[in-house]
Structure 1
Amino acid sequence: MLLIKQTDELTPQQLITILKARVAVFVVEQNCSYQEVDDDDFDDLHVALFNDNGDLQAYTRVMNRDTEVNFGRVLVVDQFRKDGLGRKIVQETLDVIAQRFPNKPIKIQAQAYLQEFYESFGFEPKSDVYLEDDIPHLDMVLMPKQN
């Protein structure tokens, strides 16, 4: 099941499930101490895949800015990795952005090891590799398709 909701539309159970998975991946698994839940979370668009049992499988958050759209916190829950859900959640996210925020560039901060993955969706690197919370990242952009 695909879930697309603003923060204030999520049930408490959905919100806690999402935040728990994000902390598990980005703080615990990556051994990275930082403020994972931030002020953007008050008004994000959340895109999530749940299986038929109601288990969270994959997730992203989308932030609509004045001149661009950002997405991040891209994750696949450990037990569902190797099933192609990374590609699926990114494509679902791009589809949602194209529908809700057409004609805006999409800018992301990608972990450097995923550069080729994001390039396969049409993203282009826009920075050198830099450290963000001691993890190599680079800025990438996907320009809107011209009609």
Structure 2
Amino acid sequence: MTNREVTTLEDMLCFNIYAASREITRIYRPILSEFNITYPQYLVLVLLWEKKICTVTELGERLYLDSATLTPLLKRLEGANLVYRKRSAEDERRVEIGLTDRGAALQNELKDVSISIFEKICKTEESYFGFLDKSKELLQKAYDIAR
């Protein structure tokens, strides 16, 4: 790999990714708290704004969340009247998640949140897409190794 030694916490890639993720989530927190949602709940909403309806399994796969984490998160979103859960008409073992009118309306209010945050962090489109491409590559490699 390299002759460079990884001897400090700051030299560990995993730590820097972990810490950056926490800091980015902290940037979102005050914005999302105005809407009484958490960052993981926001991610569910973003995915549903894209797909309209997803099964619980699809949500878990796309968000890299297990059912023990996803189920209570979805129950809170349902309790806030942002999503609904229903059994699939084709296969009653599948539970589908969709947006309520209130959940769909939040898309318009939150549509520019990610863009404005990353404009502050990345400054240029080139920087943004560079980070995005590298992070996707890293995620895929980590996923492949973990599985």
TM-score range, shorter chain: under 0.3
Normalised by the length of structure 2, the TM-score is 0.25
Q: TM-score, normalised by structure 1?
A: 0.25
**Who wins on radius of gyration, i.e. which is larger?**
2
Which has the larger share of helix?
2
